[in-house]
Chains A and B, each alone.
Chain A
């Protein structure tokens, strides 16, 4: 038989299969449901506010904090170093480059756990890796980092380190959120300059 007829039949067959498939241009989860469920039950997806405070104090460049609240809430106060991706805008292709960074830990937070969990499941389901949730959100941040005080007589080195971490985070959070937007960028430069002077380094 002529090869052209064979190829034609093959093409018509594949064409018919393509024609009966549902047309779906929208994004769906790439992970299988069981895999996503197993990942979501892991305790490793959670980071405490103390861990996040340490990342913030160290200006850790391997971490990207993602604030899922509205732009108005973000402007009022946010954890320094975070970027604002309102949850309603999460699927905007503009943010894909931010969410799809394999080497960077993406830490989602909202005011509590609910929105961060939605975002975590969506980002992980879409196949993006290295996603985490700040447990308790900003409510927990305020409760633990901003408002806890040490009230004992003696302090252990471990407690001392914990409270120093919280104190530094609290100070940075309050200072940067009290500054006008135009000065926020200069804040970290000022902080680094001060630190280098204390360390005896050059400007």
Chain B
């Protein structure tokens, strides 16, 4: 007993440290995933699903239609839910995301919004998230550069 009394300050320090660490670990607002995994998945577009493949899905899924608060868009898929991008991490939205069984399919008429949402959710630890994309490779260059074959430097600068 006297030993515990003598050590009470030290035990207190350790308990406080432990509590701080538990708070940090259990904080849902903190990113825990490795950034490397997000880059690996996204650079070869394996996080995209085309409309054809989407129609063939047999496993459970939920489409998250991401609009903005000013322009929420309309529900185009079943089953789906509208979540404005600004409210993606609100308590109600997190509950929906947490309780969904199967794939989370992000859809937005702006690819940029769905891309940003994908990285944020992936880094928060959500698995099985896909982006519904009308194109198989949205990063395709649609124009061909035509070089000017007569181009050269000014003679006096060489």
Task: Give A residues with C-beta under 8 Å from B.
Answer: 1, 6, 9-10, 13-14, 17, 21, 24, 26-29, 31-34, 36-38, 40-41, 69, 73, 76-77, 87-88, 90-91, 110-115, 117-118, 120-122, 125-126, 133, 137-139, 142-143, 146-147, 174-175, 177-179, 183, 186-187, 189-190, 193-194
Contacts and interface: CB of A to CB of B under 8 A. Distances in A.
B54 interface: no
Nearest to B42: A118
B96 interface: no
Given A1-B3, A117-B112, A194 B143 contact: no
Contacts of B156: 193
Contacts of A194: 154, 157
Contacts of A177: 145, 147
B35 A126 contact: yes
A174 B38 CA distance: 35
B151 A178 contact: yes
B31 interface: yes
A186 B35 contact: no
Contact of B116 (A9, A29, A117, A190): A117
14 contacts: A10-B14, A26-B35, A28-B34, A37-B88, A77-B145, A91-B35, A110-B139, A118-B115, A121-B115, A142-B143, A174-B147, A175-B151, A186-B153, A194-B154
Interface residues of B, number: 55
Interface in B7-26: 7, 10-11, 13-14, 17-18, 21
Interface of B: 3, 6-7, 10-11, 13-14, 17-18, 21, 28-36, 38-39, 42-43, 68, 85-86, 88-89, 110-112, 115-116, 119-120, 123-124, 138-143, 145-149, 151-154, 156-158
Nearest to A187: B153
A114 B35 contact: no
- The DSSP consensus for interface residues of chain A is helix
A121 B119 contact: yes
A152 B25 CA distance: 62
Nearest to B44: A88
Contact of A33 (B3, B89, B145): B89
